[in-house]
Structure 1
Amino acid sequence: MLQAIGLTSAPHRGRPPAVDDLTFEAGSGRVTALLGAPGSGKTTALRLMLEIESGRGVTYFRGRPLHRIPHPAREVGVLLGDVPGHPVRTARGQLRMLSAAVGVPASRADELLDVVGLAGLGDQRLGALSLGMDRRLGLASALLGDPHALILDDPGEGLSPRENAWLHGFLRAHAAQGGTVLYTTCDPEEAARAADHVVTVDAGRLVSDQDAVDFSRTRLRPRVVVRTPHAARLAAVVSREARAARRSVEVVTEAGSRLSVYGSTCAEIGDTAYRHGVPVHQLADEIADTGPAAATAPDPATATAPEAKAVSPGRASPASGPDAARAQPEPTAYGPEAAPRTASPVPGSEHVPSIRRRSARGPHRPVRYELRRLFGVRTTTLIMAAVLVVSVGLSVLLARTGHAPLPNVLAAWPEVLPLPPAAVGAGLLGALSFGDEFRYPALAAGRGTVPRRLGLLMAKLAVSAGVALLLALIVAAASAEALRLVYGGDLVGFPSNAAFSAVSWVGLNVGCAWAGLLAAGIFRVTAAGVAAVLAVPVLVVPLVRRVLSGAAGHSAPGLPGRLRELAWVQWPNGMDSWVMAGVRVVAHPVGAALSLSLSILVCAYVFTGLRGRVRW
């Protein structure tokens, strides 16, 4: 069961709150429709229930608020809008990535593709999915954790009648298994047809809380729709005959040449038009919506007779006579002057707490999530392939001139370039790690941000470092093999400073990857990460060179021996060369500039994260 108590949104700029003291229930085993016109506060109510927006109130999911549930995805499945996924990612890849975020096996993705009818479209890209397929994929995403409750925001908007019928059949099947279903809609006929319970809101306040049968009886009325070029004449004739027969008939003149006749049938209207020679272009039965204010008395000035009335355009007053009693809402209906409904006793209902806007939770399996996010699109493979081709070409050209040292040749780093292609590629992949998260927020649907969790950050740092290391090794190995193939084996030898060169090369690539990742996480855009990577050699390195040129140089002989004395575990003597290589890398202007940039970016990332928590 889902219980929402006293939901009230925070007012903005002096305006009244979009949701004001909204209280209702959605029972287990039932489909509940939250009905209201566009702008009535339906979506805001869902965001308050899910603690996405700040305000007041509390929502209990089987007796517990959302922030007290250890695994929310296993209790509540949410679909707010479209599926926030990269357009080139496949449907199966999207669900597998979200499976790692929810903490369920990857096989769950294939199971749900079959459940929602997308078994044959698992390799289809998200950008090529139709609206109906996108809704099915969204349902599959919401069902990954096998939740008890489903909360959907206008899931049938824009769907064809066939897709809409499938959707509501699916929701009923979930409710039949004991689950709770709550969805928003602006169509009262759809709510009466597809839901077991209808909660109507208007201007953020509760209007009615009824079963579907009572809702249909009190709000929906049958009518005959007539389209004729002589609408005024036909309205007068129908009203005159209804008065003569003392029948309760209401005629509403709408825009253009359209009439709505309440209390009659198509056969009666057709016979009347035929007898009086009135041409009819359309004649059909419909179910009309009387609106939330169905109990409002009609304007006496618009009534033409006690039993038959012709109403001005835009008014849909209730039927008079025998139908008037059926049009009145039940005493349990909510309205501005209705008695407040007493909710069932709920723990903590004596005090309505404040709703604190909480950021999205991080993935339960962050490393697996990051790997599937990174390699689930072809962008990563294309970037690595482009870096490899450019690096090999530059290595062959540098070796041909014979002026560049061997480490620069293997790294494909001519002096005219601020960074080698491998470092730029590693920085770009690191920037995409957070840039794509903010552009396609799969972890924070509806929140517009990405969770700042330590586990997610550590996973991104580890995966980006691993990819940068792999890229550095592949480029060096491919360049060496290309040089042996083109110029023979004598050109490529083992340099004397191999340890320093290896540490420098790996450190440069990993540092660029981390710089791009952190900058994109701070500024929430990929371009900021790429700019931070290029700023290291262009701006920071000249500044560090100027500072170091003015300081007296000091060497650090014997540093590995002193570190060995301080360490608890004695490392082999061969480690001394690697320690000195690391020290020389940090002391190098490029290494110092990269270390300084990373330190600043880490502090800025921590500061922005703390500021966001204080604001929320």
Structure 2
Amino acid sequence: MIQAIGLTSSPRKELPPALDDVSFEARAGHVTALLGAPGAGKTTALRLMLELERGRGVTYFRGRPLHRIPHPSREVGVQLGDVPGHPARTVRGQLRMLCAAAGVPVRRADEVIEAMGLDGLREERLGALSRGMDRRLGLACALLPDPHTLVLDQPTAGLAVREARWLHGILRTHADQGGAVLFTTDDPKEAAGTADRVVTVNQGRLVADQKAADFARTRLRPRVAVRSPHAPRLSAALTKEARAARRSVEVVSEDGNRLSVYGSTCADIGETAFRNGILVHQLADETGDMGAPEGSSATEPAPETPDTADSGATDSLSPLLPSIGVRPAPSPLRPLRYELRRATGVGTGYITAAVVLVTSVLLSVLLARIGHTPQARLLAAWPREFPLPPAAVGAGLLGAIAFGDEFRHPALAADRGTVPRRLGLLAAKLLVAAATGLLLACLTVACDVPALYLVYGRELAGVPADWLPLGASWLGFVIGCSWAGVLAAGLFRSTTAGLAAVLTVPVVVVPLVQRLFEGPSVRAAVGFSVRLRELLLMQWPFGGERFLAAGARLIAQPVGGALMLSLTALLCAFLLTTSRGRVR
């Protein structure tokens, strides 16, 4: 059951709020339609309910607000607009990724694909789907964790009649199985024919909250659609006969040669046309909205007419969903599995790595040809004129994509905003980014060394004497750049901002740190590892002194210090925004 209480959006400068003190309920076992014209505030209401937009009010899903539910995607299935997902990801890859996020078995993806009629599109890219298949996939994503509640925004917009009837059948099936369904629409006929209850909003305010039968009786009336090349003559004849018989008949002239006649029947209109010798091309019963367009001619105000809405909109076209017991995966690796599938499901990472390696090899060979470049920078393909080597830029970009790409193509709308601000997911992103940066750093050196050997011989491809501190500095620097990209993109909600933060470290932060480390008052931390061993009265096993000394040297360098300072600031800002977002 959904209980929305006092939903009010934030004011927009001089304009009134898009939604103002709207309260309603959507009960379990029922389909509830949120009806309103475009701009009435329907989508704003859903976003406030799902805590995707700031405002006032509270929404309870079976007695708990969304941010108090441990796994929101298992409680609320959401579809807002088009399918949230990267256009290059496949249908099956998208669903398998969401399986890992929700902690449900991977087989659930294939079962939902079959239930939604997407069998032939398993390997189709999301960007190539038609509107109908896109809506089916969106519903599949919402139903994947077997949620109790479905919240859908304009689910039938742009669909053919058959596709819309199929979707209505799925919603009815979910409600019949005990779930709660809430969907928005701007079509009164769809609301009356599909929903059990209709909540009407207009200009941000609640207008009515009615049962579907009451809504149809007060807002909808049966009518007869007539097409005739002599529509004005037929309209005049119908009006004249209705006045003579003192019957309440309303004739509405619409575009072209079409008439909508309220308060009469096909038989009566056909007889009138026959008596007056008027040719008729169409004569059919319909159900229309209460409001009549301008230009109508009426004898008397028509009385309210009983509901004759088409209740057969949902029929046998809607298949029953498979009854699957979804068991949560009791594993702390759930966010890690999601992140791995997210990172490997598209070709961005592979293309970036290939570009980085090719650029590094070419730069390394060119720098060796020019000369005057130390061997350490030569192996890393890092010219003195560049603020960052290609491997660090690539690692920072992939780290920024880890969050920024999700903000562009959100996959977990119900899990605390467009991207869930959970520490478990952040840890998984940092771990995957570190592994990616480590792999990229090692591959860069592994490609540069053979290239230098093939072109110039052993002289430039030898191992430096101080390889341990240099290697630690190199790996730590690349991993730090990848982490900076992750944190900055998560903080500023943009891939571009994440990459800009990575480039800011050597351009802005390093000169500031260099000023701190330069000058007569700066002391050096020489012999740090030896004094630490004396303080702890123990020997470092397996030559641990060298690793500790390498780490100390890395932090003591201006670049290392600047990177540590930037990472600390970004992490603190990220945690601060996360904690502020959780306070309600």
Same fold (TM over 0.5): yes
Structure-2 residue corresponding to 1:390: 359
Q: Which amino acid aligns with 1:593?
A: A
Q: Distance in 2 between matches of 1:172 and 1:228?
A: 39
Deviation, 1:603, is: 4.1
| Alignment CA distance shift 1:568-1:206 (3 Å) | farther
Structure 1 partner of 2:377: 408
SS of residue matched to 2:365:
helix
Match of 1:131 in 2: 131
1:82 & 1:230 partners in 2: Cα distance?
44
- Which deviations, in whole Å up to 9, do the C-alpha atoms of 1:44-98 show, x marking residues without a partner? 3333433445556554434444444332222221212222211112222222222
**Does the aligned pair in 2 maintain the 1:461–1:514 contact within 8 Å?**
yes
Structure 2 equivalent of residue 348 of structure 1? none
Aligned CA distance change for structure 1 residues 419 and 209 (closer, same or farther; 3 Å): same
In 1, are the aligned partners of 2:76 and 2:414 still within 8 Å (CA)? no
- Which residue is equivalent to 1:426? 395
One-letter identity of the residue aligned with 1:209: Q
- Does residue 1:99 correspond to 2:99, yes or no? yes
| Whole-angstrom distance in 1 between the partners of 2:547 and 2:254 | 86
Which structure 2 residues correspond to residues 530-609 of structure 1 after superposition, within 5 A?
Answer: 530-551=499-520, 554-567=523-536, 570-572=539-541, 574-609=543-578
TM value normalised by structure 1: 0.81
Task: Give the residue type in structure 1 aligned to 2:446.
Answer: A
**Alignment-derived partner of residue 149 in structure 1:** 149
Aligned to 2:251: 251
Instruction: Tell me by how many angstroms 1:384 deviates.
Output: 0.5
Q: CA deviation at 1:125?
A: 1.4
Given candidates 427, 431, 435, the residue that maps to 1:462 is 431
Change (3 A) 1:445 1:134: farther
Q: In the aligned structure 1, how far is the partner of 2:515 from the partner of 2:18?
A: 58
Alignment counterpart, residue 472 of structure 2, candidates 486, 498, 503: 503
- Name the stretch that deviates more: 468-477 or 266-275: 266-275
Structure-to-structure mapping, 1:196-207, within 5 angstroms: 196-203=196-203, 204-207=205-208
Look up the match of 1:42: 42
* Residue of structure 2 aligned with 1:313, choices 284, 287, 295: 295
- Conserved in 2, the CA contact under 8 Å of 1:438 and 1:448? no
Distance in 1 separating the partners of 2:286 and 2:181: 28
CA displacement, residues 288-339 of structure 1 (integer Å, 9 cap, x when unaligned): 2215xx9xxxxxxxxxxxxxxxx9626899964xx657489xxxxxxxxxxx
* Equivalent position SS for 2:198: strand
CA distance in 1, matches of 2:15, 2:381: 61
1:544-565 per-residue CA deviation (whole Å, 9 max, x = no partner) reads: 4455443356444432121123
Q: What's the offset of the Cα at 1:493?
A: 2.7
In 2, distance between residues paired with 1:124 and 1:113? 12
Amino acid paired to 2:398? L
Counterpart CA distance in 2 for 1:226 and 1:145 is: 48
Q: Does the alignment pair 1:239 with 2:236?
A: no
Q: For 1:532 and 1:76, locate their aligned partners in 2 and report how far apart those are by CA, in whole Å.
A: 35
Cα deviation for residue 385 of structure 1 reads: 1.0
- Taking a change above 3 Å as real, the CA distance of residues 428 and 327 of structure 1, as seen in their structure-2 partners, is closer
1:542-595 Cα deviation digits (max 9, x unpaired): 444455443356444432121123348742261222222222222333323333
Q: Matches of 2:434 and 2:145 in 1, distance apart?
A: 31
Assess if the C-alpha contact under 8 Å between 2:222 and 2:305 holds in 1.
no
Contact preservation (8 Å) 2:242, 2:299: no
Query: Retained in 2: the 8 A contact 1:560–1:580?
Result: yes
Q: Tell me what 1:472 maps to.
A: 441
User: What percent of counterpart residues are identical?
Assistant: 64
**Map of 2:166 onto structure 1:** 166
- Flag the structure with larger Rg: 1
Structure 1 residues 467, 316: CA separation in 2 closer, same or farther (over 3 Å shift)?
farther
1:209 matched to which residue of 2?
210
Aligned-residue offset at 1:234: 2.4
Question: For residues 465 and 608 of structure 1, what CA distance do their matches in structure 2 show?
Answer: 23
- Amino acid of the structure 1 residue aligned with 2:393: V
Is the alpha carbon distance of 1:494 and 1:318 closer, same or farther for their aligned partners in structure 2, counting shifts above 3 Å? Answer: farther
Contact 1:116 1:140 in 2 (8 A): yes
Distance 1:318 1:42, change over 3 A: farther
Tell me if the contact between 1:586 and 1:592 (Cα under 8 Å) persists in the aligned partners. Answer: yes
Separation (CA, whole Å) in 1 of partners of 2:81 and 2:147: 19
Is the CA contact 1:86–1:126 (under 8 Å) kept in the aligned structure 2? Answer: yes
For residues 61 and 364 of structure 1, what CA distance do their matches in structure 2 show?
27
> What are the ranges of 5 or more consecutive residues in structure 1 without an aligned counterpart?
295-310, 329-362
Pick closer, same or farther for the CA change 1:326–1:61 going to 2, 3 Å.
same
Report the AA paired with residue 528 of structure 2: L
SS of 2:32's equivalent in the other structure is strand
Aligned 8 A contact 1:102 1:364 in 2 = no
Distance in 2 (alpha carbons) for counterparts of 1:195 and 1:374: 40
Partner letter of residue 140 of structure 1? A
1:574 aligned counterpart, secondary structure: helix
- Asked if structure 1 preserves the Cα contact closer than 8 Å seen for 2:221 and 2:305, the reply is no
In structure 2, the CA distance between the partners of 1:398 and 1:58, relative to structure 1 (3 Å rule), is closer
Assess if the C-alpha contact under 8 Å between 2:252 and 2:259 holds in 1: yes
Q: TM-score, normalised by structure 2?
A: 0.85
What is the CA–CA distance in structure 2 between the aligned matches of 1:222 and 1:59, rounded to whole Å? 37
How many Å apart are 1:505 and its aligned residue? 1.0
Shift, 1:503, TM fit: 0.8
| Superposed displacement of residue 420, structure 1 | 1.6
Distance, in Å, in 1 between the alignment partners of 2:35 and 2:300 is 20
SS at match of 1:34: strand
Kindly report the root-mean-square deviation, in angstroms, between the aligned alpha carbons of the 2 structures: 3.3
Quote the offset at 1:156 in angstroms: 0.6
- Aligned runs of 1:106-117 on 2, under 5 Å? 106-117=106-117
Matched residue SS, 2:99? helix
* Whole-angstrom CA distance in 1 between matches of 2:6 and 2:370: 77
C-alpha displacement at 1:445, in angstroms?
6.2
> Where does residue 276 of structure 2 map in the other structure?
276
Is the CA contact 2:364–2:448 (under 8 Å) kept in the aligned structure 1? yes
Q: Distance in 1 between matches of 2:160 and 2:278?
A: 36
1:523 and 2:492 are equivalent in the alignment: yes
